[in-house]
Structure 1
């Protein structure tokens, strides 16, 4: 884990070196006239929290009305209220990365430090959902989504471990059954699988590969298995940032963090435009009561921008 924190700190220093001394304000960079219709007139990117080491994994909780997000090297999960009040939700977080929730609003977390996926029960106890596969430890579970029928999907790149610590022969995408009794591999040909998100009807699953810098899309079968994987969009650009966390709105538009900001695509795979962020983004999540705010975790801060189309509630 010390090795992982060192890598994160080096990444932060590289990001800091390429950022201007005074953070530039964000902006909307349209590639299509459609892009402007996704945001209210005069929409602005607002920084709602800052001073962190490396933010990731935002997720909005509807019932209690707050945002949770990870600060990976700080070993903390933070809780942010709409009024801007910030407090520590969990410490240690076991270097949690991606966060999501199930239909019972129970927190699901990918933990780099323990190399596992966990669920926080309503009484605060922790249930381990996945920590080994075929008798071997996972690499470092990174991001996670829950399908409406209870199936959980997570990515397992080796970002949080040293090369000699890797026990799995692949960097896979896994599925956990609703009863937590079975874990299977649903994709095994990624180099660095990372962010993932379902289409609104859950018939497609988008997964990006940070190493190859592209997004792939799969057809989701009735049993939850993935078929017909193909390239959705190639995001290779000479800008800081890699394809990472992503979310989908109710009209099927995909918001994926990447080089230069948050890229927005329509379901047909056209790049509509980019939300250019002041810092390199890592993940995003829909929030606020109407689900019309996009929260963005970006390096040392959390940003927010209002949108016209609500996000898919998870």
Structure 2
């Protein structure tokens, strides 16, 4: 009898611990949802991107690999090796995977069968980029990417700053135009926009701030405003306009910039986050050596 009582108590403690990881998430997290470790054993997971079927592709940058989380069977599969040390990823509507391949400071287009189609960006005004990091593809065409400097041990080039600062760039759909859209950030990193293509969020992890911009038809940004006093490594949004920032777990802000939830993750660093599965109700989290999922009430947008 005593053993049964202790077992029940232990089960309750374990359950309580799982639920206690989520603070203030009743409006967005599914009832009784627990953070589930899907797989570990990676070196540093990053850049999750979701395709039309809800499968999530993510990078293990130190090992130069991209993996796929197959949402249906809930399993991890290898997708691509020799990825150019891909970091951030994002899918275009046609299924092309765009990668921030910072081995040679480039943007790549990757086909559905895991082959490099072409280099989209290799320099800006004839000078190498610092190291493209994160990407957001505009629904109507074109994309934005951040270019902070994180010196990599595998670089053979000069590890110092290549450009005159760490900036945000826009690349037109046809690839003919590449220009800066913000030159006043300390270290831009996470980036995400709204599904209507009208608003862009950029996290300045160096200044511990996230900014909000209006997007013009020509790709330029206007009306820059402070969104919240927190930077981020990666970012995503949901159907209610909430914005998810990473670093110390996942911190969620509503569209006004007020914090509404925090999801603790058992890792020293949570790098990135995206909504996956066919119904977009599974939060997929990359955190150093592992990836996690969490069932949500809200849907992600794509």
**Same fold by TM-score greater than 0.5:** yes
Provide Cα deviations, 1:80-124, integer angstroms capped at 9, x if missing partner: 223243232111122110000111011000011120001113563
Question: Is the deviation greater in 93-102 or in 220-229?
Answer: 220-229
Distance in 1 (alpha carbons) for counterparts of 2:61 and 2:49:
15
Residue 125 of structure 1: CA displacement?
4.1
Residue 160 of structure 1: CA displacement?
3.7
Which has the higher Rg, Structure 1 or Structure 2? Answer: 2
User: Is 2:44 the partner of 1:49?
Assistant: no
Provide Cα deviations, 1:219-246, integer angstroms capped at 9, x if missing partner: 11122210121211112xxxxxx61100
User: Is 2:245 the partner of 1:253?
Assistant: no
Cα contact 1:294–1:307 (8 A) shared by 2: yes
Distance in 2 (alpha carbons) for counterparts of 1:286 and 1:164:
34
Cα contact 2:40–2:290 (8 A) shared by 1: yes
Give the equivalent residue in structure 1 for 2:281: 292
Give the equivalent residue in structure 2 for 1:187: 182
Give the equivalent residue in structure 1 for 2:107: 117
Give the equivalent residue in structure 2 for 1:243: 232
After TM superposition, the score normalised by the length of structure 1 is: 0.84
After TM superposition, the score normalised by the length of structure 2 is: 0.87
Cα contact 1:113–1:160 (8 A) shared by 2: no
Alignment partner of 1:137: what SS? coil
Distance in 2 (alpha carbons) for counterparts of 1:308 and 1:85:
22
Residue 164 of structure 1: CA displacement?
4.6
Provide Cα deviations, 1:292-311, integer angstroms capped at 9, x if missing partner: 11100001100111111111
Cα contact 1:174–1:186 (8 A) shared by 2: yes
Give the equivalent residue in structure 2 for 1:276: 264
Give the equivalent residue in structure 2 for 1:27: 21
Alignment partner of 1:132: what SS? coil
Cα contact 2:214–2:221 (8 A) shared by 1: yes
- Give the alignment of 1:83-102 within 5 angstroms: 83-102=73-92
Alignment partner of 1:73: what SS? helix
Cα contact 2:139–2:195 (8 A) shared by 1: no
Cα contact 2:70–2:76 (8 A) shared by 1: yes
User: Is 2:76 the partner of 1:70?
Assistant: no
Number of aligned positions between the proteins = 278
Alignment partner of 2:183: what SS? strand
Extract unaligned runs of 5+ from structure 1.
1-23, 236-241
RMSD (CA atoms): 1.7
Alignment partner of 1:189: what SS? coil
Distance in 1 (alpha carbons) for counterparts of 2:166 and 2:42:
28
